[in-house]
Chain A
Amino acid sequence: MSHVLIDEAQVHRIARLARLDLHEGEAGQLSVQLSHIVEYFQQLNALPTAQVEPLAHPLPIINVLRDDQPADSLPVASVLANAPQHVSGFFRVPRVLDQAGGA
């Protein structure tokens, strides 16, 4: 069995970064599973990569320029059609500013 590379506190930290909510007992289970997988990933450290440039994209890509031609956007109604809640042409979310109007 793997040693604990990702303990439960770490699981909670990652979940917060990832905007995920853990249910009862999930942190313990994820700690075991993620540690097992991360331990496997550690074989990367054995590779001689110090002098190697990272490769983020498989093909050489260059910036693409084109004429700035106006074109129709999607109609607002069709974009909002999938929104869980919308009002007056905007997506509706719970209050993000406090009552006094400050941030």
Chain B
Amino acid sequence: MRADVLDALARHAATLDESGFDPRADVSVDAWAGLHADLAALGLEFSDITALDRIDAVELVCWLLSSPSEQLSVRTSCLNDRLLAPTLSDVYPPAEFGEREVYDLFGVVFEGHPDMSRILQPDDATTFPLRKSFELAETPW
């Protein structure tokens, strides 16, 4: 882990956990955009943004690359009654599509996103299929 990245994480009160496969940093939703702006300024590249359903909350997972071979996940948690997070699309342009997908499949709304609309499902869809509460219909066989 680079020292300047550690500094940035500490500045935003992120907890760093290096016991897993890749280092992960957990941060509060309020510090989400600020931390990413700092990390982008340090030259970290965006790889992917996605989410995990934690039943009572949705965990946002953003994978960043500190070098072509080193990856780091930054995570935050949005409780079910407030599925709202600041957008990263002004920091990382590709996150625009990634966040639309998270909205489409998990229902997390990103504040400040230029176009918060459905991306994979039809525009008139009403469900968020990757939530665990959404169950697939039984097949006839």
Chains A and B come from one and the same complex = no
B residues whose Cβ falls under 8 Å from a Cβ of A: none
